[in-house]
Amino acid sequence: MANSENQVIEIIPALLVGDSSFDPASIPLCTLCIEVDERRIRFCVIRDENMECIWLEDYSFDTILSPGEIFEKLKKIFAGHVLWSSGSWKNVRIAVNSNAFSLIPNAIFDQESSKDYLSFALGTAVPAQEKVLFHDLPLVHANNVFSIPQVWYDWIINHFGSSNITFYHLTSPLIIGALVSHLEHQEIRIVSLYLEKDHFTLVVTESQQLILCNRFRYSQIQELAYIILFTLNQLNLLPEELKVLCYGEVSASSDVFQELSRFFPNLQIGSRPSTLKYSSQCAEVPGHRYFGLFNTYLVSS
């Protein structure tokens, strides 16, 4: 597929890889997965028939953007891309990465109290311009309650009105991916770290059960290591007893990986979900960086 035929480039992606056989006729047979946070917008396309990732685009920004600025970027990307602008995708799945989420056990979950749960987790009222959503996570017997700007929600619903649309908080794909890791690594306890520039998500699982999931802000690498060690100590878990898998913005040569290796002897870079297949082009991408995006497809699969 020639890029010039399908895209008027106004915002240049940091990464674009894809199968040349992918064309508009394939769209009704595919799922479009979208990941959005304050620093990046990412897309991947999964061919549902064989669960194969055939396209990946990553748009990253140097500064933290406001919700309004992210929304403008999102609209420009879609407006300039004929493929992404189609309303005939089989499924569209959107994962929002933010601090506004709360996992509520199904035993006590009340749909009418969703906004109250989120307000309690945030320590303040949910802003009026935010829409509170939730979705069930059967593997952990809980609902993930989160919010998304109302203008994002309305635009996505209108833009992809003929598709089956699902909204998630990014912690849900990360949890699903962490639980599946037990089967791949044959470990009793796994700590999964999804690392960003100034945030990280910590997921602790044991015997394929979720023990903890939280998102933390940090300013220095030493602070990140301290938060992880303190949290694990509160759970009575010893570093040497744990397999620690790193995902997101990290590499084996990065400073954060080197710092964590001082405390965790069983530290390694994670891998992309093995449940999916990958075209030859997408298979060349460091899969651990897109762990959340890829698992967005698997939450409902």
pLDDT at 9: 53
* Tokens encoding 300: 């409902």
Q: Which residue has the higher pLDDT, 226 or 10?
A: 226
Q: What is the mean pLDDT of residues 272-295?
A: 96
pLDDT at 187: 85
Q: How confident is the model at residue 4 (pLDDT cuts 50, 70, 90)?
A: very low
- pLDDT at position 3 over 60: no
CATH number of 181-269: 3.30.420.260
pLDDT at 14: 92
User: Which sign does the torsion angle of CA 145, 269, 290, 253 carry?
Assistant: positive
Tell me whether strands 267-269 and 243-248 are parallel, antiparallel or unpaired. Answer: parallel
Q: Which residue has the higher pLDDT, 84 or 9?
A: 84
pLDDT at 87: 67
pLDDT at 186: 82
pLDDT at 290: 97
Find tokens 């290591």 and name the residue. Answer: 225
- pLDDT at position 1 over 70: no
Closest CA to 278 of 266, 264, 290: 290
Q: Note the pLDDT tens digit of each residue in 27-36.
A: 999 999 999 9
Q: Which of 9-23, 31-45, 88-102, 150-164 has the lowest mean pLDDT?
A: 9-23
Q: How confident is the model at residue 184 (pLDDT cuts 50, 70, 90)?
A: confident
Q: How confident is the model at residue 208 (pLDDT cuts 50, 70, 90)?
A: confident
Find tokens 């990307």 and name the residue. Answer: 77
User: Which sign does the torsion angle of CA 255, 260, 265, 268 carry?
Assistant: negative
* Residue pair 84/43 in contact by the 8 Å Cβ criterion: yes
- Domain 3-98+145-169+274-298 top-level CATH class: alpha beta
- Give me the chain's average pLDDT, please: 92
Q: How confident is the model at residue 5 (pLDDT cuts 50, 70, 90)?
A: very low
Q: Note the pLDDT tens digit of each residue in 64-106.
A: 899 889 999 988 888 877 666 766 899 999 999 999 999 999 9
Q: What is the mean pLDDT of residues 177-194?
A: 89
User: Could you give the 3-state DSSP secondary structure of residue 155?
Assistant: helix
Closest CA to 45 of 76, 23, 12: 23
Tell me whether strands 199-206 and 209-217 are parallel, antiparallel or unpaired. Answer: antiparallel
pLDDT at 11: 81
Q: Say how far residue 93 (Cα) sits from the centre of its chain.
A: 11
Neighbours of 20 (CB within 10 A): 10
Q: Note the pLDDT tens digit of each residue in 261-274.
A: 999 999 999 999 99
Q: Which of 10-19, 138-147, 227-236, 260-269 has the lowest mean pLDDT?
A: 10-19
Which part of the chain is CATH 3.30.420.260?
181-269
- pLDDT at position 301 over 70: no
Q: Listing from the earlier edge strand, what are the strands of the sheet with 243-248?
A: 209-217, 199-206, 189-195, 243-248, 267-269
Q: What is the pTM of this model?
A: 0.93
Q: What is the mean pLDDT of residues 12-21?
A: 91
* 145 vs 115: CA distance, rounded Å: 8
pLDDT at 256: 97
* 226 vs 92: CA distance, rounded Å: 38
Q: What is the mean pLDDT of residues 187-202?
A: 94
User: Which sign does the torsion angle of CA 83, 26, 152, 297 carry?
Assistant: negative
pLDDT at 28: 93
- pLDDT at position 199 over 70: yes
* Residue pair 155/273 in contact by the 8 Å Cβ criterion: no
Backbone angles phi and psi of 19, in degrees to 5: -80, 125
